[in-house]
Structure 1
């Protein structure tokens, strides 16, 4: 899988199978869509919400991905806590392995609130993940 070297803003509409990603080559768009679809399915399973994601950060390498997003309702009227996640491609499908806690859950946990500590801990838990995908 190609390494995405972009920080780009994308919108992904989940539900109904419609997905669009801006500013990415076609092959990268397909990968981005699959990653965001998996993230959207996980978010819906947790919360019951359909979401559109504004992507702050997305890096992919060797079947691993780290994504940082700003989810919102499809109509744009409701905005939700940022969602960051580690995904791995297994048997051709993207699977969410970890979603970083947000809001008070993260602020009250020093291992989460401190980016360096969080990513160091995450890398030790998932040593197979290429370090280049992480922002820190």
Structure 2
């Protein structure tokens, strides 16, 4: 982890909030151009490259980060913007000094491991008990459905 990311995370951790955070809280979204945002999206970009063999840039529809967890919903496209691909949503975790994709749901209807299943986020909570549920979206649109 670079120094700027460490400073951002320690600053975020030291802020006092009056009441519980909601997923819609903008303070959980790393700003455009921030090192934290780049690190999370680079991890997702590397996963897409590994799985699909393509280079992408992301139009970010939703990104929330808290306590070493991140949820994102992106619209990937080719670097020149000529090709657009299916939406990608993912759960990422910061571990061993790097962000990693731990869950990337499919978009296939009827598959229990897909995002459109009603209990998808409940199953993620059971699978990853330490997940910061505040990163999860409040609406289906933000989730990537």
TM-score range, shorter chain: 0.7 to 0.9
Structure 1 spans left out of the alignment, 5+ residues:
8-22
**Tell me, what secondary structure is at the counterpart of 1:100?**
coil
Q: CA 1:65–1:78 in structure 2 vs 1: closer, same or farther (change >3 Å)?
A: same
- Larger of the two Rg values belongs to structure: 2
2:79 maps to 1:59:
no
Instruction: Summarize the alignment of residues 51-130 of structure 1 with structure 2, pairs less than 5 Å apart.
Output: 51-102=56-107, 106-110=108-112, 112-114=114-116, 116-130=118-132
CA distance in 2, matches of 1:44, 1:61: 25
Where do 4+ consecutive residues of structure 1 move more than 4 Å? none
**Do the aligned partners of residues 134 and 49 (structure 1) sit closer, same or farther apart at CA in structure 2, a change above 3 Å counting?**
same
Does the 8 Å contact 1:50/1:74 carry over to 2? yes
Is the 2:105–2:113 Cα contact (8 Å) retained in structure 1? no
Instruction: State the aligned residue count.
Output: 116
SS of the equivalent of 2:65 reads: strand
RMSD: 2.3
**Per-residue Cα deviation, 1:31-54 (whole angstroms, up to 9, x for no partner):** 110000000000000011000100
Q: 1:6: Cα distance to partner?
A: 2.9
Gaps of 5+ in 2: 1-8, 14-22, 139-145
Question: 1:6 maps to what in 2?
Answer: 26
